[in-house]
Chains A and B, each alone.
Chain A
């Protein structure tokens, strides 16, 4: 009986250590969401992701022209409507996708709410290159 108790205790300790090691090893695998761009439109243009989970956005541009995928609040978009950066890529929420190209970027949303993703190349937002992301 004593040997059995020791074995169970050892298993519990092992499982706990393994769990701690997994937690210490980093974040869980990110979700993957693919957004296709065709005829200067996002597909899907509305999607939902969970809060606090890393999400990898796979942006596939099927157009022969370049596009942008910029996601943020309204003040962020207002800045980019009048911005001066010809290309993006330094920040994960500001991405330039080359013609017929593919780009990935990973983001974690810490707060629930709604944000929009927009292409701010001249004329593209007015043409309808706008999408909505809901964080739940």
Chain B
């Protein structure tokens, strides 16, 4: 039986230069008129297939805006998500129509930049699935009107080294208005992604943010078993900026409700619900969230972005290298704490712990 895991993707705002330039190099719109509200995302992973649901909301303004989301694999389907999945998850932890879908032939290139794998439109959202390195995806985005912030080159490469698959979404605010969408309305998107390596992109949430800004997000995981996470917000030391808001067996009522939403038939009969709140200073968010729901308790150091990427063919004896690295990542801070405690006891003239 294949193990179940979950992954939640994260979304980042990248403005699209539809408005006239107002400063050297161009600005997006008067006073950054188009704003994206907080984005909530959820996905489940069942029988080797990840179901990823995210919603795009806007706060008005003119023109277009968009986002780029790194993905752990190539989606086989992109559809409008159900209408209440995300709201139901928020409720639980508060303590789709078909559309034109076009799969491009493999190898079809766009302007010598990233490879365009899929193109589709969901309401006022134009979705493009890309494959390419950081430079290729960045170039594609620039050529298609995305105004990438200055940290984009480094962040895109950070992700492309592990998974060269990205989703670019352009949200046409004027089209949304024509469709009768109001400020605060969201458009849910559901991606189906076969993958053996689920992870949650967190670092990209800080893209384009200054050192003084914070990142706030809600991350929901549903797994068959209680997952092991890296970094682990529920661990002894915790993780600055991450809070484990919920971790318990998912209620039958929740799973039934989720399963009744559009495209959510895959939701298992039993599972574990994890909710994580992100409220971090942008510079602190330099990692992703690795998940191991297999019961082995070995979330990937590589998937967490805490180790440099090494192609599988170059890794000695499979992934065994990462096991001691993960242990080291946990053990070193613990050892530091122990040493600090011992030193403090020593300064206070406390009784020796042993011997002497």
Show the binding face of A for B, using Cβ within 8 Å.
38-40, 63-66, 68, 70, 80-88, 96, 99-100, 119-124, 126-127, 129
State in angstroms the CA–CA spacing of A81 and B25 once bound together: 10
**Residue contact B135 to A84, C-beta cutoff 8 Å:** no
In the complex, the answer to whether A84 meets B24 with C-beta atoms within 8 Å is yes
CB distance from A83 to the nearest CB of B (A): 4
User: A77 CB to closest chain B CB, in angstroms?
Assistant: 10
- What are 17 sample pairs from A and B whose C-beta atoms fall under 8 A apart? A39-B154, A64-B141, A64-B156, A65-B150, A68-B24, A82-B23, A83-B24, A86-B21, A88-B24, A99-B139, A100-B135, A100-B139, A121-B25, A122-B23, A123-B208, A126-B210, A127-B149
- On chain B, the number of residues with a Cβ less than 8 Å from chain A's Cβ atoms is 27
> Is there contact, CB below 8 Å, between A127 and B23?
no
- CB-CB < 8 A to B154: which residues of A? 39-40
- Report the bound CA distance from A110 to B135 in whole Å: 39
Question: Residue B250 at the A interface, CB < 8 A?
Answer: no
**Which residues on A sit within 8 Å (CB–CB) of B210?**
123, 126
* B283 → chain A closest CB, angstroms: 12
- Which residues from B are CB-within-8-Å of A123? 149-150, 208, 210
A84-B23, A120-B25, A126-B210 as given contacts; A99 in contact with B142, CB under 8 Å: yes
Q: Is the interface of A mostly helix, strand, loop or mixed?
A: loop
A83 CB contacts on chain B under 8 angstroms = 23-24
The residues of A that contact B77 with a CB separation of less than 8 Å are none
Contact residue among B21, B23, B24, B142 (Cβ-Cβ distance under 8 Å from A64): B142
In the bound complex, residues from chain B placing their C-beta under 8 Å from that of A121 are: 24-26, 150
A87 cross-chain contacts in B, Cβ below 8 A? 25
Are B150 and A40 neighbours in the complex by a CB distance under 8 Å? yes
CB within 8 A of B22: which of A40, A84, A100, A119? A84
A86:B24 contact, CB within 8 angstroms: yes
Q: In the complex, A106 Cα to B139 Cα: how many Å?
A: 28
Given A84-B23, A86-B24, also A64-B135 (CB < 8 A): yes
Known contacts being A86-B21, A122-B27, is A64 close to B139, with CB within 8 Å? Answer: yes
